[in-house]
Structure 1
Amino acid sequence: MDVAHPPPPIGRAHVLIAVKGLDRAKSRLAPRLAPTDRTALVLAMLRDTLAAARSTPGVGDVTVITPDPTVAAVAEAAGARWHRDPDEPGPDRLNAALRAAARTAARDADGPIVALQADLPCLSGTELSEALDRARPHPRAIVVDHHGTGTSALIVGDARAALDPRFGAGSARRHLDSGATALAGIWPGLRLDVDTAADLDAAAALGPGPATAETLRRIGWRAESTRRTEFI
């Protein structure tokens, strides 16, 4: 006889957002943007991502994991907590930081733990709320990014369970191979993480949040890509 999984807790989610040091952020945009503009863009996208996450009814706490004091200040100004990432070198530093933060969050969480990308300028609270609802029957679930290979969100329904993050190149396949379920839903803002100029063009066309929109206007971003972005 199959043993039924216990129902997931009904508490609100704790969202974890990892942000690397600003001196290393968005290097793939270097051909188009000066370092100061890349820094401004990273912080703007984080502000919009934080605003969307904090506007989600199903979200209780938001914690930013970062070694960067400027990023920490942005998190605090947005009403989020922050957790110091020691920024130690190593191939699995991001996932190690998320695992440590998840263990800390689980001490007082009564709902899902969510590892969310920091560069989702078009994210809406409605999208994240729908993804949380869709994830509820699954022990671990992911939202695959707009490229179909990355992971924009990893959702563990029970804070007592291991987050087991596997972010990095090709993370969607690694998460699926580890037993996570890919969620179906038309969530363009949740799926559109920005790493390249083409991604930024797609975000500008979709409609970013106010902080990113103002930064794009200020730096004079002009779209060059005509690539069509498909949202699952």
Structure 2
Amino acid sequence: MRGAHRSDQPAHTHVVVAVKDLSRAKTRLAESLSASDRTDLVVAMLRDTLSVLVGARDTADPARITDVTVVTPDPVVASIAAECGVGHLPDPARRVIGESGLNAALTDAERALGTAGGAIDVVALQADLPALRTAELLDALGQARRGGRSIVVDHTGTGTSALFACGPSTRLDPRFGTDSARAHIASGARVLDGAWPGLRQDVDTLDDLFAAARLGLGPATRAVFDRLGCTPGVRQLR
């Protein structure tokens, strides 16, 4: 049955994380953080997100993921991926990854990695999840493996923090952008329901960062957070 998950073999799951050029990252924080501080924050959140993914890959849990790949045009991000022990794929079309190019980049990466429509489940995960926990990701993945396309809606209720394509002949068909949750649902993705605050808490604004801090930041993001002297309600940090 199309979209049904295979039950006769363990699931192989490839997580893809797309990261834009660092010079273009988190522009909504420009009023509060300098360009260098924004870069430090983006890099820290990426490191913490990848650390969780590596933990979900290297765990003895049978629900574990099997591969992680970062797709990016940025050589610094590529080097961070290597340091973290995950794969790297240059943006296949050599475009700058932004909101308009993210969907094409993910689709090209899915094709380049040989996962599209095959015996491998694919997850497109946001790179700015500094409060993510391994257990949250594996629990959501367990629900997603029931088959087909599915999403985890972000903390705003309008965005998508994770997109899953599980089962034979299932592709990501990403619809990231404004109101991506609604776009994914309209295209047939089902919504996964679970208590996964860290998985839902992506960071685009200072308020998002403070919310993530209340959940508990990963060590890299916590170090940047403390260095900047972040205090809720303070817009200018430096």
User: Relative to structure 2, which stretch is displaced further, 50-59 or 75-84?
Assistant: 50-59
CA distance in 2, matches of 1:154, 1:16: 10
Identical columns (%): 50
1:96 alignment counterpart:
104
Contact 1:113 1:158 in 2 (8 A): no
CA distance in 2, matches of 1:74, 1:90: 19
Contact 1:149 1:172 in 2 (8 A): yes
Contact 1:18 1:66 in 2 (8 A): yes
* 1:201 Cα deviation after fit: 1.0
Contact 2:3 2:167 in 1 (8 A): no
Once the two structures are superposed, the pairs formed by residues 1-232 of structure 1 within 5 Å of their partners are: 6-8=4-6, 10-56=10-56, 57=59, 58-85=64-91, 86-88=94-96, 92-107=100-115, 110-158=119-167, 160-224=169-233
CA distance in 1, matches of 2:170, 2:137: 21
Contact 1:14 1:105 in 2 (8 A): no
CA distance in 1, matches of 2:82, 2:209: 26
Structure 1 length normalisation: TM-score?
0.90
Contact 2:125 2:162 in 1 (8 A): yes
Provide closer, same or farther for how the CA distance between residues 61 and 89 of structure 1 changes in structure 2, counting only shifts above 3 A: closer
Provide, for residues 117-148 of structure 1, a one-character-per-residue CA deviation record: whole Å limited to 9, x for no partner.
Answer: 00000001110000000111130100000000
* 1:218 Cα deviation after fit: 1.3
Contact 1:10 1:111 in 2 (8 A): no
Provide closer, same or farther for how the CA distance between residues 93 and 214 of structure 1 changes in structure 2, counting only shifts above 3 A: same
Contact 2:155 2:201 in 1 (8 A): yes
Contact 2:151 2:189 in 1 (8 A): yes
* 1:80 Cα deviation after fit: 0.8
RMSD: 2.0
Structure 2 length normalisation: TM-score?
0.88
For the residue of structure 1 that corresponds to 2:139, the secondary structure is helix
For the residue of structure 2 that corresponds to 1:50, the secondary structure is helix
Structure 2 residue runs without a partner (length 5+):
none
User: Relative to structure 2, which stretch is displaced further, 216-225 or 117-126?
Assistant: 216-225
Contact 2:4 2:148 in 1 (8 A): no
